[in-house]
Amino acid sequence: MQRLDRLSALTLINITKGGGGKSIPQDQRIFEFKILYITGSNASVRKVAKGFFEYIHLVKRAGEWKIINVLWDFVQN
């Protein structure tokens, strides 16, 4: 079964502030972090962590990289 949820930036910030992910030991949190491409002021990154993966889209504005979208799913065994 699949589902598609829309989570706001504020929701994700609050999950992080609330300690989301801290139950996973730090040395097991990220397995792979790969920059897929950078073109001018746009970039795409793939991250694999314990139990899930993410595709992160970023934009560079005023010299700083900002996350504009994250697509994630659980790792299927």
pLDDT band at 1, cuts 50/70/90? low
* pLDDT for 61: 95
pLDDT tens figures, 22-61: 887 887 777 888 999 999 999 999 998 878 889 999 999 9
**Domain interval for residue 56:** 28-77
* pLDDT for 43: 97
Number of domains comprising the chain: 1
- Asked if residue 21 belongs to a domain, the reply is no
- Asked if residue 33 belongs to a domain, the reply is yes
- Asked if residue 12 belongs to a domain, the reply is no
- Asked if residue 66 belongs to a domain, the reply is yes
Is 20's pLDDT higher than 80?
Answer: no
- Asked if residue 13 belongs to a domain, the reply is no
* pLDDT for 77: 60
Give CA–CA dist 55/16, Å, rounded: 18
The Cα angle at residue 75 between residues 9 and 8, in degrees rounded to 5: 10
The model's pTM? 0.73
Handedness of CA 30, 34, 39, 40 (dihedral sign): positive
